[in-house]
Chains A and B, each alone.
Chain A
Amino acid sequence: MGVGLRAQNEAKRVKVRLFALCLALLGATLAQGLTAAELAATDTSRAARWNTIAAYIFGDRKIEATETLIKLEAPPRAQDAALVPVTLIMPEKEKIKSVYLVIDDNPSPLAAHITFGPAADPGSLQLRVRIDTYTNVHAVAETVDGRLFGTVAFVKASGGCSAPIDSTDEEAMQGTGEMRMKFAAAAVPGEPMQATLMIRHPNFNGMQMNQLTRNYTPSRYIDNISISSGTSKIFDLSADISLSTNPVLTFSFIPDGKDPIRVIISDTKAGRWEQTFATPASTN
């Protein structure tokens, strides 16, 4: 354990003590709130959980805390746990090689790993995920020089992974693989532009019970989304059971002014879909 962590733990203990004091002062008005003991216990267990996950994903690579390299925007309280919008913001985008989204308490915590290519504009990326429980969500950026930087947000959500299916599985599969792309503006070669990709796919994660048949619907979910501008990669997204039904991705890229955007999707039942979208040309 390094000096930094000890310092952090000490700061944490001071914070906990301060909290105990606050709770004591506020007395009756916060009688239903967390006690200092509850707070300390949960911090410990959540930190231990993150350590376990980080060891699986990153081995012994160090993850540095950051306020600037990656930011995570997620609703503190999800309206729909099966459809939680999460935005990753990377202000120093030229330094970013890839980003990881980890939902700590989902049973398969690594929700997505996005590796950017030369045609990417890695300043921001939005996606929609399933969140199963009140949990920390971590975003980790890997820089081009191989360092890892992380940030965390707490999201209150419940039951996103096992949200039941109310139609027949066949109905849910209709139109699977259909895509639409929406461009925010006309393309100016060399200038970043934003696009939103909408994919039709039920993303069955194997944890959902069909309410009609009371059987678990076998898993079939998107495991990879690859987007290019001509022959130049925008990004590869390695996905998991946490991606929502009918995924929506908002990303930015650098159009070259002539080539279309090509999207290739695969799923865990050998489904493969490919589509190209012409970028809207600038009128001047």
Chain B
Amino acid sequence: MRSLIGIAAPAAIILGTALFSAVASAGSADIQEPQGLWTGAMYGPTPATLGGAVVVDLAAVEALLAEKPLLLDVGPAARKPEVLSGDRPWLPTHRSIPNAIWMPGAGVAPLAAGREELFYRRIGDLVQGDKAKPIVVFCRAECWGSWNAGKRLVLDGYTSVRWFPAGIDGWWDQHETAEVKPDAGWSAEPTP
């Protein structure tokens, strides 16, 4: 019964969203692709390209959905502060493209020992060994994590990697999101 006021808002935003164009984040022509993975700061302008992968915008992602691609979200998990004030609840949630697989932090470079192998093993399981299966990799806008995760896949011989640099910021401007939990296979082995 306390939920009366929780359901009013999203309806109001629909027409509003049509008025705004998607968040522009197609990457910057000024930023060169690094050799291999990017090991600098994770947030900031990213390149306009990812060699070996196709850069996609929202329309391309929408068109691709019919092919049931693997939607791979590598956005970070909320990090719990050492001290929470009072007895406040800590209730992290993560919204993503519906049906996305969320592997938090999988775009970090370098990854801790064993994590990169786990990443490849887990992706291999998810695509059932089909390295030609379309994989859309994303996080937030201006996030190197998705670039790195896409690069990892390219380096391992995946041939249909789509990098979606606008990420969730580009998606939720036009579409709703779903709450997703971290992928069990990725999170079963704790991040050091």
Contacts and interface: CB of A to CB of B under 8 A. Distances in A.
B16 to A, nearest CB: 6
A219 B76 CA distance: 17
B126 interface: no
Contact of B7 (A43, A77, A158, A161): A43
B113 interface: no
B81 interface: yes
Contacts of A107: 78, 80, 90-93
Contacts of B82: 206, 218-219
Given A107-B80, A161-B78, A76 B13 contact: yes
Contacts of A54: 2-3, 6
A240 B83 CA distance: 10
A272 interface: no
Contacts of B177: 42, 134
A209 interface: yes
A108 interface: yes
A62 interface: yes
Interface in A241-280: 241, 268
B10 interface: yes
Interface stretch (B39-47, B116-124, B156-164): B39-47
A76 B84 CA distance: 28
Contacts of A55: 2
A206 B79 contact: yes
A43 B10 contact: yes
B179 A33 contact: no
Interface stretch (B29-37, B48-56, B168-176, B182-190): B168-176
A contact face: mostly helix, strand, loop, or mixed: mixed
Contacts of B91: 52-53, 56, 107-109
Given A42-B176, A77-B20, A219-B83, A150 B5 contact: yes
A83 interface: no
Contacts of B81: 108, 205-207, 219, 221, 241, 268
B contact face: mostly helix, strand, loop, or mixed: loop
Nearest to B173: A156
Interface string A1-22: 1101100100010010001000
B151 interface: no
A109 B140 contact: no
B124 to A, nearest CB: 29
B78 A49 contact: no
B86 A8 contact: no
B2 A32 contact: no
A24 B17 CA distance: 17
Nearest to A110: B88
A46 B7 contact: yes
Contact of B5 (A38, A151, A212, A241): A151
B42 A134 contact: no
Nearest to B172: A134
Contact of A57 (B4, B16, B89, B176): B89
Interface of B: 1-14, 16-18, 20, 41-44, 62, 76, 78-86, 88-93, 95, 98, 140-141, 168-169, 172-179
Closest 6 CB pairs of A and B: A206-B81, A50-B6, A154-B9, A219-B81, A107-B78, A107-B92
7 contacts: A8-B7, A41-B176, A133-B95, A158-B168, A211-B43, A218-B82, A238-B86
Given A33-B174, A221-B81, 10 more contacts: A1-B1, A33-B17, A34-B176, A39-B11, A52-B91, A136-B6, A154-B9, A154-B10, A156-B173, A219-B82
Interface of A: 1-2, 4-5, 8, 12, 15, 19, 30, 32-34, 38-39, 41-43, 45-47, 49-58, 60-65, 76-77, 104-105, 107-110, 132-134, 136, 138, 150-154, 156, 158-159, 161-162, 164, 205-207, 209, 211-212, 214, 216, 218-219, 221, 223-224, 238-241, 268
